[in-house]
Amino acid sequence: MTTALKPRRSALYMPGSNARALDKAKTLDVDCLILDLEDAVAPDAKALARDQVCEAVRAGGYGHRELVIRINGLDTAWGAEDLEAAIAARPDAILVPKVSSPADLQRVAHRLAVGNAPAALRLWAMMETPQAMLNAAAIGAAGRDPEVRLACFVMGTNDLAKETRARLTPGRAAMVPWLMTCVAAARAGGIDILDGVYNDFNDLDGFAAECAQGMDMGMDGKTLVHPKQIEPCNAAFSPSEAEIAWARKINEAFQAPENADKGAIQVDGRMVERLHAEMGRRVIAIADAIVARG
């Protein structure tokens, strides 16, 4: 299923056990909030986190921000209860951790159907296991199955590093093949994809470099661990004024009567095809959606 065009430049994780962070999130200029019940929450705090997160989602007050609850895996002691509580709370999406096959998503989707979850509630999938890298195409293909409701991949580079023993180095050479495999799988499935987190949140230069790399890779946005990463992330994943101007220029050029029957034309000394105009229309739509979101 093709998701509606919405900016997902920045997605901030926050531990569901941190009431202060849940409140503060209402003031942060972030596109998505991932309210975490999984790895950011200690076992003793799981029930408290579930209650706080579901109450916060029910109470609302988060404005344009897309609300996503990350549940624990269904193979854990908390997963089934998290899922039922999340369905009842009605967030925009439920993020399923450690997805390794389409069956992992189908199981959750079945619970959504049985629990009469609202039609608008989507599934997001954490891509963070070695099996997920090997099954990326099949998992992404679930995006074409309306019953699964899959809308977005989220790269879990910390778990991926742990499970594969690959190192997270500047430039992420070891991760690039997996990141690009998942970008291709997401696009084939018609869904969005968000890049993994940058743990060293005080290193804003390193963070900016990784945002630029994610943008070059085709990521729709990046997941974040700290509020200070939001502003540079939004800037990196927003179309620049120059990109918007170029997009408008090539669309206007193709609309000119003399170009009506042409597939390729010259604009400012560069060859431009209709596919570039199509790409430009997406840039303009994203820019308009960012403005509309306020």
Ligand X SMILES: CC(C)(COP(=O)(O)OP(=O)(O)OC[C@H]1O[C@@H](n2cnc3c(N)ncnc32)[C@H](O)[C@@H]1OP(=O)(O)O)[C@@H](O)C(=O)NCCC(=O)NCCSC(=O)C[C@H](O)C(=O)O
The interface region with ligand X, picked from 35-43, 49-57, 239-247, 256-264 by CB under 6 A, is: 35-43
The interface region with ligand X, picked from 145-153, 156-164, 247-255, 269-277 by CB under 6 A, is: 156-164
Which one, 95 or 287, has the nearer CB to ligand X? 95
Give the DSSP letter of residue 293: H
117 binds, among Mg ion, ligand X, none (CB under 5 to 8 A by kind): none
The structure tokens listed for 59 are 């109470």
The structure tokens listed for 207 are 């963070």
Cβ 60 to ligand X shortest distance, Å: 17
Q: Which residue is nearest to ligand X (CB)?
A: 158
Query: Can you tell me which residue has the tokens 């034309």?
Result: 265
70 is in an annotated binding site: yes
d(CA 87, CA 72): 14
> For the chain, where are the E strands, in sequence order?
10-15, 32-36, 66-70, 93-96, 122-127, 150-155, 192-195, 221-224, 264-267, 270-273
Which one, 135 or 280, has the nearer CB to ligand X? 135
- Selected binder of ligand X within 91, 140, 156, 214 (CB under 6 A): 156
In terms of Cβ atoms closer than 10 Å to its own Cβ (0-12, 13-18, 19+), residue 111 is: middle
Per DSSP, what are the bridge partners of residue 221?
194
* SS3 label, residue 41: coil
Cβ 155 to Mg ion shortest distance, Å: 9
The interface region with ligand X, picked from 78-86, 150-158, 240-248, 258-266 by CB under 6 A, is: 150-158
CA distances from 196 to 12, 38, 136 (A): 11, 16, 16
Cβ 197 to Mg ion shortest distance, Å: 9
**Positive or negative torsion for Cα 193, 199, 203, 209:** negative
- Selected binder of Mg ion within 156, 189, 196, 239 (CB under 5 A): 156
Footprint on residues 229-248 left by ligand X (CB under 6 A): none
Q: Does 15 bind Mg ion (CB under 5 A)?
A: no
210 is in an annotated binding site: no
Q: Does 39 bind ligand X (CB under 6 A)?
A: yes
CB atoms within 10 A of CB 264: 11
Which one, 7 or 156, has the nearer CB to ligand X? 156
Footprint on residues 183-222 left by ligand X (CB under 6 A): 196-197
The three-point CA angle 166-208-282 to 5° equals 100
# chain residues binding Mg ion, by CB under 5 A: 3
234 binds, among Mg ion, ligand X, none (CB under 5 to 8 A by kind): none
**Positive or negative torsion for Cα 146, 64, 187, 150:** negative
Which chain residues interact with ligand X by CB under 6 A?
12-15, 20-21, 24-25, 36, 39-40, 126, 128, 156-159, 196-197, 225-227
Query: Which residues sit in the known binding site for substrate?
Result: 70, 128
